[in-house]
Structure formats: structure tokens, C-alpha cells
Amino acid sequence: MAMTGQIHDLGYKRYAGARRDAGTRWRVIMRHQIAMAWKTWWRFKAWVGMAVLISFIAGAVMYIFSNRMFHGMGRVGDAALMIRDVALPQSIAWYCRAAFITSLTLGGTIIAGDVQSGAFTFYFARSVRPRDYVLGKLGGLGAITACITMIGPVLLAGLRLGLCESASDLVDHLVLLPKALLVGGLATCAYAAVPLGFSALADSRRTALAMWAAYYLVGGTIAIMIGSISHTGWIAALDLPTAIQGVANHLFGMPLIGPRLSGITMAEGITSVVAQVVAAIAIVWTAVDRAQKTGIGGST
Amino acid sequence: MIELSRLGKKFGAITALAEVDATIEGKIIGLLGPNGAGKSTLLKCLLGLVPFDGSAKVLGLSAATHGPEIRDRVGYMPEQEAFLTGMSAVELCTYAGELSGLPRTEAMQRAHASLYYAGLEEKRYQPIDGYSTGMKQRVKLAQALVHDPELLFLDEPTNGLDPRSRDEMLELITDLPQRRGCAIVLSTHLLPDVERVCDHAVIMNKGRVRFVGSIDELRGARGRLGELIVQVKADPDKLAAALTAAGATVKPVTPVQLHVDLPASATNKLVFQCARDAGVQLRGIEVRKESLEAAFLRVIEAA
């Protein structure tokens, strides 16, 4: 800092160019979100690496054991399934784990962090509207999460197509791509929006993180237990990874055997995820809208 | 620059702004008022962040309908910390510029220029988390400037600064309108800051604007042109005697200065006449002004 009180000027000139439309600000926020996540290893890159490893292992298993039957430690019952058809749906749970860890390092603290650091004032003193902020944060976190939950499954679906033995087999399996996109998209929405919703519920990062982790781990476990005991699919589907796995198994023709998944219909799985995502976005919207109206102005 | 017409804002049963009418002009305007006067609410209304009754125009745009456009043309330096963690000053200012609609390259160039102007030099590459209070204040000023605003709202810009940093910040504030052509609204409790840098003042109390005008008008706003400070070369007693005989009340201020309270109908011509009659040479004559603090208290108490 200049301690002389000297005023520096590099030759000031007024900005005469056009300003970008207010409707583009969400893209600036989204890009910034991704850039900040990319800055550190432990927040994002490590978990992308984990997703790459999951894809590599699942792809290697799919390739090496492509013609072997899958017994799944008795969990598929009498179903006749090939390993190459099972590797993709079975890997979804692992992608969900990587996405959950990313939500702990990034998504679960985003809005609480902005509240804590006073960033709302920084944003809303400019021509940023609540919808720009919400869209930017959701878009950024969605892109980050999609690197983990969407790219891997789509690549595995592509590999499965590569393992097809004939052209007709390939055509029959082309539907795997949109199915992988759907499951990946569902997981992306869940692991981007729901932790963001929790981050909007608290003013401190630690509290927001604790709430999200408790909801996911403890709440999810309780939902599975009650769902298993009562044989009620929609209650078990309140657990996000269970709902996503249930949808994946339905889409990829895997039997729903085991206490976690039994009884979950595809509609229940999708409805549960969509309902939680919508609720989370509503929470984020309310918190941000309120913050815009109260966050500017000093105490004078 | 700012036009308010029957501007009103209520929070439940609490009236934060009560039918405020004012036209605010000037280069550096001090926004003064006790806690709860309505200054923060006025800022929110001017930035188009909260709905309100009546009308408010900033730079010719309606705050009710053109909030985002106004915020693109206005810079805001908040009182409290408003940073994003893990960013350097140059990253923050570039981001601020982009959020105000500047293209990325332009935002980056202007971020460097603003931070250099604010005196951060090479420290602009360091994370803000490790900055001192003075440096953070400079970053807040730079981020408010980066998008080339026509109007700046500065909220307690010298809060927490040591005397030297405060002087430097006030120098920057004084320099801004000349060099960058922007007007400034300075919200502060510190009357010496206002006295030093502001040419106009707005005083608010209980949700109403109690005074709008130049600092000179505020300090001499009693409408008493008959209260003068008269400076003489020598023999102030002779002049005092002549003025007293003419019905004025005279008190010595310094060995060569007199405080003269003229009779109700008299003008300063009486001083010239008495000086001529007494053979005293006048060196200066000016309308006596109150201190800013006294003027502020008078306006508040009158409310």
C-alpha cells in the first residue's frame, strides 16, 4: 500500500463500450463458481479424479469380463445378466459417493459462505438479480457435479455400445445413452440443488455442512430403515442415493433385490429426487430474495 | 442527480421513510443522520432494491423500475466487509466489473487501474483474507470504482482506519470527482470527514430529510446575514465602540477580530460606515458560520 498518500492514476478514461445485458450475469457467476472450484485440489479435482477412477475400473471390468455372467453375490436372484450390462448401473452408487463428497467440499457451504463473508452485499449492489445469483450458483455447481455424475455413466454407456457384437445389437443398445444421461442428470440435479438448499438454511458454513451431512447420512439411513420395515417404496426413496439407484436399476433392467431397493418404483424414485430438488431451489430462492432486500446498507 | 418525490417506505408499522421530497445535487454530498434516521433505507430505495411509495430518480432513471440499470451506473462501497473468500483483490475487482456488465478483458484492465489508483500496487495479487483494515477499505473503494460509475455511494469509508490511512482515503475521495468525473454520496457519522471533503449535505432524521443544500448554506443557514466576523488592521476597540453606539452587539474574537451582531434592519453597510467614522481600516468581513457539528445538531433538534 502506498504510505505516502500519493494518488496513482494510470491515465483514466471513461468506459465508452456497451455493457452486457443483465440477463447474462448468471453466466459470469457460473463461470466464477467453476473457476473457484478448480483452484484447489481437495475441493473438486480430487473427486473428479475419483470419478475417473470409478469409470476406469468399471470400464475395465466391463471390457475384461464382457462375456461372463453376473451373479452379484446372490443379489440379482435368478436374473441372467452379463457383467457388461451390469457394470454401468452398479457404478452409479460409486458416482453418487463421489458426488456426495464434492457436495461436502463445495455445494453444502456455498450460500452460507457468501452470507458469512458478506458476499451478498457484493453481488446485490450490482445489477445482479436474485434469479441471476440462484441460476449462476446452480449452474456452476451443476456443471461441477455433472463432471462426476454424468460424464462417467455416459462414457460407460458408450463403451457398452462398443462392446456390441453386431450392428443390430448396437441399435438395440443405443437407448443406453439417453438412459445414462437421464440417470446422470437426475444425480446431477440432486447433488447440486439439495446441498445448495441446505447451504441457504444457515448463516455459517459449519452449520450448513453439518445439516446437509446429517440429512444425507442419518436422515437417509432412517428413511431406508422405515421403508424396508414397512415395505414402503416412497419412504425408502427419500434417501437420495437409494432413489437414484432405484431409477438406474429400473432403466437398465436390473432387478430390485435387497432391503434398500425393494419396492421402489421408477416414479417414486424420480418423484422423490424432483421433490427434494424443487424444495431446495425454493429454499435457496427465498433466502436469496430476502438477502437482496436486507443485505445492502450500513448501520449508520 | 437524485430526485425524490413523496418517497415513503414502511416496514410493518415502522415508517422508515415518510414522504421524502428532495432534489440532491453536488459533487461530494454528505449523507448525515443519527441511527434509525432512514439513511440505509434511502440507499436501498435509490439502488432499486426494495419497493417503495412515491418516486425516486437516480441519474434520470426511476429506481422503482430501473434498479439493475441504476446499479450498473452506481458504485457502492459498503461499511461492512463484502468480499468473497479465497480471492485476490485483482480477481475480486475483475469479477465485480464483469458482474456490472463489462467484458472480461476490460474488467481486468480496469481492475488493475482501480486498485493501483486506490494505492494497492503489487499487493493486489495477494489474497484479501490477509489484508489489514486499511487495505480492505481500499479494495472496497476499488471494487466500487471498477465499472466506471457516475455516482458513488460510500458508506463509512474511513471506519476503522488509523489517522494516516484516513487522510489518504479522504484524499482519494476528494480527488475522485475531479479525476473520474463521478459524484459521491458519503454516508458517515464523522462530521470532520464531511467538513473536509463534502460540498453538499443531506441531513435525515426520523425518516425525513431535514436539510438539503451546500455545506456553506448549512453552516450559514440561519438566515442571519447580520451576524458577522469583522477583521481590522488595528484598534478594534474604536470600531466596537462605534458599532455599539449604532445598536450592534460586539464581542472580541481575537485581538484583531470582532463578532458583530447587527441590529435587525441593518446590513453590513453599517460596519463600513462605522469603520470610516472611527478611522479604522477593515481587513475582512464575512458572515459568521456555525461549526458543522453545531449546524447538524441545530437541524436535528429543530426536527
| Range among A132-141, B131-140, B276-285 rated most confident | A132-141
A151 confidence band (pLDDT: 50, 70, 90): very high
With 80 as the cut, is the pLDDT of residue A97 above it? yes
Q: How far is CA B232 from CA B225, B227, B276, in A?
A: 19, 16, 12
Average pLDDT over residues A25-39: 93
Q: Is A21 on the interface with B (CB under 8 A)?
A: yes
DSSP strands (E only) in B113-167 = 151-155
Measured in angstroms, the CA of A114 and the nearest CA of chain B are apart by: 7
With 80 as the cut, is the pLDDT of residue A190 above it? yes
Residues in chain A: 300
**Backbone φ/ψ region at B6: left (φ over 0), alpha (ψ -120 to 50), beta:** left
Grid coordinates belonging to A69? 455372467
A138 confidence band (pLDDT: 50, 70, 90): very high
B303 confidence band (pLDDT: 50, 70, 90): low
Among A5, A117, A125, beta carbon nearest to B85: A117
- Residue A123 to residue A130: CA distance in whole angstroms: 9
With 50 as the cut, is the pLDDT of residue A1 above it? no
With 60 as the cut, is the pLDDT of residue A299 above it? no
Higher per-residue pLDDT: B35 or B282: B282
Q: How far is CA B197 from CA A82, A256, B33, B174, in A?
A: 80, 75, 17, 6
Average pLDDT over residues B117-136: 86
- Residue A269 to residue B11: CA distance in whole angstroms: 43
- Looking at residue A30, what is its pLDDT? 96
- Residue A114 to residue A108: CA distance in whole angstroms: 12
Q: What is the pLDDT of residues A59-80, one digit of tens each?
A: 999 899 877 777 654 555 556 6
- Looking at residue A260, what is its pLDDT? 64
Half-sphere exposure of B257 (CA within 13 A, CB side): 10
| Range of weakest confidence among A152-156, A247-251, A289-293 | A289-293
Using a CB-CB distance cutoff of 8 angstroms, which residues of chain A are in contact with residue B87? Answer: 36
Grid coordinates belonging to B18? 415518510
With 60 as the cut, is the pLDDT of residue A296 above it? no
- Looking at residue A3, what is its pLDDT? 47
Rounded mean pLDDT of chain B?
A: 87
What number of other Cβ atoms are within 10 A of residue A77's Cβ?
8
Write a three-state SS string for A265-292: CHHHHHHHHHHHHHHHHHHHHHHHHHHH
Q: Chain A residue closest to B92 (CA)?
A: A122
Cβ pair A37, A109 in contact under 8 A:
no
Q: Chain B residue closest to A298 (CA)?
A: B79
Higher per-residue pLDDT: B41 or B224: B41
Which residues lie across from B265 on neighbouring strands? none
With 50 as the cut, is the pLDDT of residue B168 above it? yes
Rg from Cα positions in chain B: 24
* SS3 of residue A64 by DSSP: helix
Q: Do A15 and B40 touch (CB under 8 A)?
A: no
Which residues lie across from A81 on neighbouring strands? A70
What number of other Cβ atoms are within 10 A of residue A270's Cβ?
18
Percentage of the residues of chain B whose pLDDT score is greater than 70: 98
Rg from Cα positions in chain A: 23
B224 confidence band (pLDDT: 50, 70, 90): low
A259 confidence band (pLDDT: 50, 70, 90): low
| Predicted TM-score (pTM) of this structure | 0.82
A290 confidence band (pLDDT: 50, 70, 90): confident
Average pLDDT over residues B82-89: 88
Among B41, B100, B167, beta carbon nearest to A5: B167
* SS3 of residue B148 by DSSP: coil
Among A9, A14, A126, beta carbon nearest to B96: A126
- Looking at residue B226, what is its pLDDT? 72
User: What is the strand order of the sheet B2-11 is part of?
Assistant: B14-24, B2-11, B53-58, B61-62
Among B92, B101, B143, beta carbon nearest to A127: B101
Average pLDDT over residues B171-195: 87
The ipTM, to two decimals, is 0.84
With 60 as the cut, is the pLDDT of residue B222 above it? no
- Looking at residue B190, what is its pLDDT? 85
Average pLDDT over residues A177-204: 94
- Residue A206 to residue A199: CA distance in whole angstroms: 10
With 50 as the cut, is the pLDDT of residue B44 above it? yes
- Nearest to A1, CA basis, from B134, B283, B295: B134
Give the CA dihedral B232, B237, B242, B248, nearest 10 degrees: 80
What number of other Cβ atoms are within 10 A of residue A56's Cβ?
12
What number of other Cβ atoms are within 10 A of residue A286's Cβ?
12
Measured in angstroms, the CA of B69 and the nearest CA of chain A are apart by: 7
Higher per-residue pLDDT: A11 or B261: B261
Cβ pair B186, B202 in contact under 8 A:
no
Using a CB-CB distance cutoff of 8 angstroms, which residues of chain B are in contact with residue A1? Answer: 119-121, 123, 132, 134-135, 138
